[in-house]
Amino acid sequence: MLPSSQLATFDAENGPELVGELFNDLEVIRWDDPLVHLPAQQALKLYLKGRGLSDAEIAEADGIASLPPTLTKRGALMTGRKAN
């Protein structure tokens, strides 16, 4: 893993390690659930656009996913205590 000064993101994968560098008694509650349902092709295109894909990339992906797709979202809630 990159040093925390070189990381571009903070997410469920690297968050516990980063928070653990600063806090003791770290508790992590993770989830990985199908939370986003896109009912039609247009909704999928808007989602992909929001994720930074170009119109050409979206057109290339057209028809690959079966509809309606369900997207799994991953996250983590972290709590810790600062050492005295």
CA distance to 7, 18, 20, 37, 79, per residue, from 47 (Å): 25, 29, 33, 11, 31
For the full predicted model, state whether its pTM sits above 0.75: no
Describe the chain by its helix, strand, coil percentages, rounded to 5: 30, 30, 40
Encode the chain (84 residues) as per-residue pLDDT tens digits: 555 556 568 888 899 998 998 898 899 999 999 988 888 888 888 989 998 999 999 888 777 767 788 888 889 999 998 866
Output the CA torsion 11→16→20→21 (10° steps): -40
